[in-house]
Amino acid sequence: MGLVLQQGLTVSVDLTKPPEKLWQETQSRHKLGINRARRAGVTVRFDENFETLPRFIEIYNQTMTRRCATEYYFFDKQYYRSLVDELGDDLLLLVAEEAGKVIGGALFTLARRSGIMQYHLSGSDWDYRHRQPTKIIIHTAREWGRSNGFSRLHLGGGLGSAPDSLHEFKRGFSPDTHVFATQRVVVNPQAYRALSEGGATSTDDLSGYFPAYRRPQPAKTPAGSRRTALALTP
């Protein structure tokens, strides 16, 4: 039914492996970062009461701004509050601290029936980038997941369908990859065409932007704007 599209590869950590094997499969650059952070006194703790959530949101937003992320990756405070209220014990907030200051954090969701931990959002303080707190956070999360009976820590993929620096960062923790696919189904073709302004092929070809009616509209250039720009040019 519908159209299934392969979107690229994602990375996961097999938590059924012994800790020695997981450490062996960790790339040397990540091992180095984790060990350096430990020697510097960086610690990771589970914030069970989400007291540091405001600080995490601040760090996360700063991280997304530095990476020139689109609006899609920014969330209002209600989104985080909903995660806390609705997921309860199935949401984990891990924070990395140095000398009592939160320098990084990450949110993980738990699917206990399937035994899967999901790496959701993370961020780090730019002033402490030399500590690479995300590395020690993910390392701590996989140790916790393994000791608590989870079978997989799913780290996700990169920003697009092709491997990029984010994908390679995650590969540094595990060699296990999976094909990520999405299924596109139009339940009500008539309503879909109406919302898509009657596009004749809107339900015939689902391989483009989906759903079509949510496609971002290009900004319109105000009349006379070019003339104004020329007038202001020395």
Distance, CA of 94 to CA of 102 (rounded, Å): 10
pLDDT for 48: 96
pLDDT for 133: 98
Domain boundaries, the chain: 10-181, 186-214
pLDDT for 51: 97
pLDDT for 10: 94
Contact (CB, 8 A) for 176 and 21: no
pLDDT for 209: 84
Ordered alpha helix ranges (H), the chain: 19-25, 28-39, 53-66, 77-87, 133-147, 165-171, 189-195, 225-232
Please name the residues in contact with 48: beta carbons below 8 A apart, sequence gap of 6 or more.
none
| 46 CB neighbour count, 10 Å cutoff | 13
Q: Is the dihedral of CA 85, 86, 88, 94 positive or negative?
A: negative
The domain defined by 10-181 folds into Aminopeptidase (3.40.630)
Mind listing the pLDDT tens digit of every residue in the chain (234 residues)? 889 998 889 999 999 999 999 999 999 999 999 999 999 999 999 999 999 999 999 999 999 999 888 888 999 999 999 999 999 999 999 999 999 999 999 999 999 999 999 999 999 999 999 999 999 999 999 999 999 999 999 999 887 656 788 999 999 999 999 999 999 999 999 899 888 876 556 777 888 888 888 887 665 555 554 433 333 333
Instruction: Dig out the tokens for 85 from the structure.
Output: 């209220």
Contact (CB, 8 A) for 124 and 134: yes
Q: What percent of the chain has pLDDT over 70?
A: 89
Residues written for the chain = 234
